[in-house]
């Protein structure tokens, strides 16, 4: 018998008898409460020991419930009582506070200096100029629309990333859209399609089409040009995005848990209400690079010439280069490519996919930026980046690495009041944002929350322009990867991305001056199919050079001569 079982038998026998005895002696509130307590304890304990399915309950009657209770509030307890300002994941208290302050439009400065360890490995920073500038007004929008586009769109540097109605509540979608309208940015609909809540306030939309083709499919699940055209030609739809993959679950289709599927969502998506809605991992219209590009043309034509692009998380680099080869061979280019980082968020995903797959945003953006330069197509295609954008520096880092604009999802949810409780996949969101429960949904005041979205956007953008100015630039488009510095384990600040050689215009096509990974990847790339074996072993010469350089600095400081390389 465990100590708790012995204790149970002690209370169940002597405790109850003693409580009964006291009640017979003196019937008062306190003796009655004591009797109720011992009797409840005994019944719960008896049930635990002889009927519970959990061995923990059987061995530790009654107290095991305390453990389950505390476990269900583990995230909150850790968040409120244990974690410090910078250690919480995915967003630290410091990052969240910044978003909340900017969303509420209250003081967002800190006192007494940084709390960060500036010598930490991989710490990112910038080198400022002695001649700061002011970003000019004409440099504050980004034009989307390549050669085949008839209706270009001028977007903000920061926009609302894809999150579907279904994953988010109707009020959250509305508040984001009204916020986008007030802030002058766009909202991406997410793969669930453009719902009435996206359309109600007339904020700019990017319509996302996922592998489930929600919003533009027929009864059999095939692409339906007529329903696509009807939506895509609406004035509110500014661009169309084909979703190939998403950083939090690349290689896996979208997941909407059955708990969150209402009659309305089932009707909008044409799906079964009682089963998890799992979209296929591969978009049926885009199984080869050339199919994807032909689909881009089809969507662009049917939309009347609006910018069309696709979203993906970079995995095997060869496959992206296969796509580049297909662009060269067909002459078809998307208007934009959205690069989502492995650190990205989701409403629901298998844990291994979230933790172990895909390139991080900065690495993916740097790779795509250079690949497009290498094939001479960079001017025709815009790059959008997404992955944990909480501060203006996060925004700037992505632009510096090669993005033209940035999408944010979770911090936009935080501007609505999300407290990072991470129950988005349960329909039990405590703030009414990621739930379809009508009672919780009502907790969101659409107009008030849209103001928060507006303020978060405005304040982040304002600080972004100031940061760009502080490094001596008057236009964010002039940011370059080498301006972003990363502290290495060798005590030296290196340009982020310097481990993979930056390419020059047409380097890949001309095949003259490239070697190392780029050359190997390029030769393996095949425009006829995506899948390619990942056979290249990365052993960058730059890495060795950087190591030597830092040794040289340390030894020179110590009065020794630098080693010969
Ligand atoms: C609740 C939620 C729902 C999402 N739904 C979609 C979606 O429908 N389509 C998509 O491409 N990405 C979706 N995402 C991913 C985001 O659009 C974004 O790419 C990713 O979270 C990275 O941005 P963040 O770090 O700013 O959150 C979702 C993310 C969240 C948190
Ligand atoms: S409050 Fe929690 S459940 Fe709701 S959106 Fe935020 S993380 Fe998800």
Of ligand 1's atoms, which has the minimum distance to the CA of residue 408? 26
DSSP conformational letter for 218: -
What was the pLDDT predicted at 447? Answer: 97
- What residue numbers bound the domain in which 248 lies? 142-443
Q: Among 181-195, 309-323, 380-394, 487-501, whose mean pLDDT is lowest?
A: 487-501
The CATH number for 253's domain is: 3.20.20.70
Q: Which of ligand 1's atoms lies nearest the C-alpha of 241?
A: 11
**Cβ of 429 less than 6 Å from ligand 1:** no
Structural domain contains residue 98: no
Same domain, 178 and 261: yes
State residue 451's pLDDT score.
98
Domain match, 153 and 224 both: yes
Q: How far is the CA of 188 from the centre of ligand 1 (A)?
A: 10
**Residue of 190, 430, 437 to test ligand 2 pocket, by largest number of atoms within 8 Å of CB:** 430
Question: What is the CA(198)–ligand 1 centre distance, in A?
Answer: 16
Q: From 549, 528, 551, 525, select the one nearest 536 (Cα to Cα).
A: 525
423 alpha carbon, closest ligand: 2
Q: Where are the beta strands (DSSP E) in 158-295?
A: 158-160, 187-188, 205-209, 237-243, 255-256, 277-278
What distance in Å separates the CA atoms of residue 34 and residue 17, rounded to the nearest whole number?
Answer: 11
For the cut 70, the answer to whether the pLDDT of residue 538 exceeds it is no
Kindly state whether residues 171 and 315 are assigned to the same domain. yes
Residue 385 lies in a domain: yes
Residue with the bigger pLDDT between 554 and 285: it is 285
Q: How confident is the model at residue 540 (pLDDT cuts 50, 70, 90)?
A: low
Mutate to test the pocket of ligand 2, among 76, 169, 423, 437 (most ligand atoms within 8 A of CB): 423
For residues 393 and 542, state if they share a domain. no
Pairing of the two strands 205-209 and 187-188: parallel
361 and 505, same domain (yes or no): no
Dist CA 8 CA 19 (whole Å): 15
- Asked if the structure places residue 451 within a domain, the reply is no
Q: Give pLDDT, residue 67.
A: 87
> Are 411 and 390 contacting, i.e. CB atoms less than 8 angstroms apart?
yes
Considering the domain architecture, whether residues 169 and 316 belong to the same structural domain is answered as: yes
pLDDT, residue 557, reads 45
Sign of the torsion formed by the C-alpha atoms of 389, 391, 393 and 399: positive
| Residues 287, 206 share a domain | yes
Residues 357 and 247 in one domain: yes
To the nearest whole percent, how much of the chain has pLDDT over 90?
69
Atom of ligand 2 nearest to the CA of 422: 7
What ligand 1 atom has the least distance to the C-alpha of 387? 25
345 Cβ inside 6 Å of ligand 1: yes
Strand partners, 408: 160
How far away, in angstroms, is 168 Cα from ligand 2 center? 10
334: Cβ below 6 Å to ligand 1? Answer: no
Instruction: Determine contact, residues 299/242, Cβ cutoff 8 Å.
Output: yes
Average pLDDT over residues 229-245: 97
Pairing of strands 153-155, 142-144: antiparallel
Residues composing the chain: 565
- Confirm whether 508 is domain-assigned: yes
Instruction: Check whether residue 397 and residue 311 sit in a common domain.
Output: yes
In a domain, 112, yes or no: no
CB of 388 shorter than 6 A to ligand 1: yes
Strands (E), 417-518: 484-487, 493-495
Residue nearest to atom 1 of ligand 2 (CA): 418
417 and 323 belong to one structural domain: yes
pTM: 0.88
Rounded CA-CA distance 381/368 in Å is 10
Which residue, 72, 102, 126, sits at the end of a domain?
72
Q: Which pLDDT score is estimated for 553?
A: 46
- Indicate the residue among 443, 466, 491 that finishes a domain: 443
Residue-level pLDDT at 559: 44
Does residue 169 fall inside a structural domain?
yes
Number of structural domains (the chain) is 3
Q: Is 431 in the pocket of ligand 2 (CB under 6 A)?
A: yes
Q: Which of 281, 212, 283 lies closest to 251 in space, CA to CA?
A: 281
- The radius of gyration of the chain's CA atoms, rounded to the nearest angstrom, is 28
Together in a domain, 159 and 51: no
103 in a structural domain: no
Domain match, 277 and 395 both: yes
Domain annotation covers residue 483: no
pLDDT score, position 44:
95
Q: Please state whether the peptide bond connecting residue 90 to the residue before it is cis, i.e. omega within 30 degrees of 0.
A: yes
Ligand 1 nearest atom to the CA of residue 388, by list position = 25
Q: What is the pLDDT of residues 58-111, one digit of tens each?
A: 889 999 999 888 888 877 787 777 777 777 889 999 999 999 999 999 999 888
Indicate whether 14 pLDDT > 90.
yes
What pLDDT, on the 0 to 100 scale, is given for residue 558? 45
- Residue-wise pLDDT for 383-436, tens only, equals 999 999 999 999 999 999 999 999 999 999 999 999 999 999 889 999 999 999
Among candidate residues 72, 87, 121, the one where a domain is terminated: 72
Closest to 310 measured CA to CA, from 421, 191, 390: 191
3-state secondary structure of 142: strand
Residue 313 in contact with residue 339, Cβ under 8 Å? yes
Task: Identify the residue whose C-alpha is closest to ligand 1 atom 22.
Answer: 344
pLDDT at 548 over 70: no
Please give the structure tokens belonging to residue 341: 């980082």
Of 162, 163, 185, 187, the residue nearest 177 (C-alpha): 187
Pocket test for ligand 1, best of 89, 90, 92, 161 (most atoms within 8 A of CB): 161
Average pLDDT of the chain, as a whole number: 90
Structure tokens belonging to residue 279: 């979209």
Residue tagged 């109720």 (tokens) = 36
Cα 10 to Cα 8: distance, rounded to the nearest angstrom: 5
Answer yes or no: is pLDDT of 556 > 50: no
Query: Which two tokens mark 528?
Result: 């006829």
């Amino acid at each position: 018998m465990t100590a708790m079982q012995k204790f149970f038998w002690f209370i169940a026998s002597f405790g109850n008898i003693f409580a009964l005895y006291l009640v017979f002696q003196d019937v008062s509130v306190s003796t009655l409460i004591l009797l109720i307590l011992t009797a409840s304890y005994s019944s719960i304990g008896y049930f635990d020991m002889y009927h519970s399915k959990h061995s923990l309950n059987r061995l530790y009657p009654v107290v095991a419930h305390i453990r389950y209770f505390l476990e269900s509030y583990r995230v909150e307890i850790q968040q409120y009582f244990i974690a410090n300002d910078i250690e919480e994941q995915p967003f630290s208290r410091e990052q969240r506070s910044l978003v909340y302050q900017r969303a509420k439009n209250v003081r967002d400065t800190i006192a007494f200096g940084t709390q960060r360890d500036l010598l930490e490995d991989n710490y990112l920073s910038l080198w400022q100029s002695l001649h700061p500038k002011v970003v000019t007004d004409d440099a504050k929008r980004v034009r989307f629309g390549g050669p085949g586009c008839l209706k270009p769109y001028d977007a903000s540097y920061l926009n609302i990333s894809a999150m579907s109605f279904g994953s988010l509540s109707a009020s959250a979608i509305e508040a984001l859209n009204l916020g986008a309208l007030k802030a002058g940015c766009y909202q991406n609909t997410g793969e669930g399609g453009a719902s009435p809540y996206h359309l109600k306030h007339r904020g700019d939309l990017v319509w996302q089409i996922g592998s489930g083709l929600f919003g533009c499919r027929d009864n059999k699940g095939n692409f339906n040009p007529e329903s696509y055209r009807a939506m895509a030609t609406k004035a509110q739809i500014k661009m169309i995005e084909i979703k190939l993959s998403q950083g939090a679950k690349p290689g896996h289709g979208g997941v909407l848990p059955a708990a969150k599927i209402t009659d309305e969502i089932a009707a909008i998506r044409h799906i079964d209400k009682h089963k998890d809605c799992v979209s296929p991992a591969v978009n049926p219209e885009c199984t080869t690079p050339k199919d994807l590009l032909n689909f881009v043309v089809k969507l662009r034509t049917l939309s009347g010439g609006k910018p069309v692009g696709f979203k993906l998380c970079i995995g095997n680099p060869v496959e992206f280069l296969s796509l580049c080869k297909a662009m060269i061979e067909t002459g078809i280019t998307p208007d934009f490519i959205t690069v989502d980082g492995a650190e990205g968020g989701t409403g629901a995903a298998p844990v291994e996919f979230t933790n172990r797959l895909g390139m991080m945003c900065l690495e993916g953006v740097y790779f795509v930026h250079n690949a497009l330069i290498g094939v001479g197509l960079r001017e025709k295609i815009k790059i959008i980046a997404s992955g944990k954008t909480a501060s203006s520096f996060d925004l700037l880092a992505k632009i510096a690495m090669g993005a033209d604009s940035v999408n944010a999802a979770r911090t936009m949810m935080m501007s609505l009041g999300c407290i990072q409780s991470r129950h988005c996949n349960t329909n039990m969101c405590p703030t009414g944002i990621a739930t379809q429960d009508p009672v919780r949904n009502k907790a969101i005041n659409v107009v008030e929350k849209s103001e928060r979205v507006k303020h978060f956007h405005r304040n982040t953008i304002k600080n972004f322009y100031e940061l760009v100015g502080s490094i001596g630039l008057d236009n964010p488009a002039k940011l370059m990867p080498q301006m972003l510095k990363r502290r290495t384990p060798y005590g030296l600040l290196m340009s982020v991305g310097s481990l993979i050689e930056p390419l020059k215009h047409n380097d890949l096509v001309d095949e003259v001056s490239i070697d190392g990974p780029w050359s190997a990847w390029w030769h393996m790339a095949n425009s006829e199919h995506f899948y390619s074996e990942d056979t290249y072993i990365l052993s960058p010469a730059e890495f060795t050079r950087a190591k030597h350089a830092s040794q040289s600095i340390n030894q020179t400081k110590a009065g020794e001569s630098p080693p010969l390389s």
